[in-house]
Structure 1
Amino acid sequence: MVDTTPLTQAVDHFADRLRAAPQSRLQRSAAGAALELARELARRAQAVEEPGTEPREMPDAGMFAVADQILVAAHDLALVLKNDEEVGEAVRLVEEARGRAGV
């Protein structure tokens, strides 16, 4: 079994930063970057769980829900990752999104 701790730690940190961010920051860039990340993580998990099917897009539940959305998507993805390289790629996606979000 692959150790997904680096992914869960990275996404937990990002989610905490989003929750602490002021509304103005969420409106400017943070919520959009987080939603984009949540959608990508969910798409990757769906591709493994349901190969060959059209992925469903995670809905925009609003700027105050994006922290929860990235947590759910990341934890779903963590369940299907097969090796350390996949974990590293997912962590990279989280870190890039956090950088774009500015939190």
Structure 2
Amino acid sequence: MSEQTTATPARLTEAVDRLADRFRAMPQSRLLAAVPGHPSRAAAALDLARRLADAARALEGLPALPVPDCGAFAVGDQLAVTGHDLALAAGDGHPAELAAALADLADTDRLTA
């Protein structure tokens, strides 16, 4: 079974909630530590939140809006909100977009572990 056929809004919501909770529980020293390609884990998560938000807005036929940098301690909440928005916008009719988001989440999870 391919990733695309198993990609559902529920899977995206579960995955984003797990990653968001990890960031919410992460100590400041880990949040602010650099990871490859990013000045910090928080910056990597913010980049992911911005991509999720852009994907949701695109599915809704709306222009992208900036996701502001609200600080390292807010990034878990930003991931949750943007991930849930994308799951809602994608519904069951956009499995490719859901699969891409799940892959992006998995990549960020590995990068920031």
Give the TM-score of the pair, scaled to structure 1: 0.87
Out of 50, 55, 64, the position equivalent to 1:44 is 55
Tell me the amino acid that sits aligned with residue 65 of structure 1: A
Corresponding residue pairs, total? 99
Residues 24, 77 of structure 2: 8 Å contact kept: no
* Matched residue type, 1:6: R
**Any unmatched runs of 5+ in structure 1?**
none
Whichever residue aligns with residue 39 of structure 1, its letter is R
Counterpart-to-counterpart distance in 1, 2:51 and 2:10: 19
1:87 to 94, 98, 108: 98
Q: How does 1:5-84 map to 2 (within 5 A)?
A: 5-28=10-33, 29-51=40-62, 53=63, 55-81=64-90, 82-84=93-95
Instruction: Specify which structure has the bigger relative contact order, considering alpha-carbon pairs within 8 angstroms and separated by 6 or more residues.
Output: 1
1:7–1:90 contact (8 Å) kept in structure 2: yes
Identical pairs, percent: 44
Question: What TM-score results when the alignment is normalised by the length of structure 2?
Answer: 0.80
Assess if the C-alpha contact under 8 Å between 1:33 and 1:98 holds in 2.
Answer: no
Q: Cα RMSD between the aligned structures?
A: 1.5
Shift of 1:30: 1.7
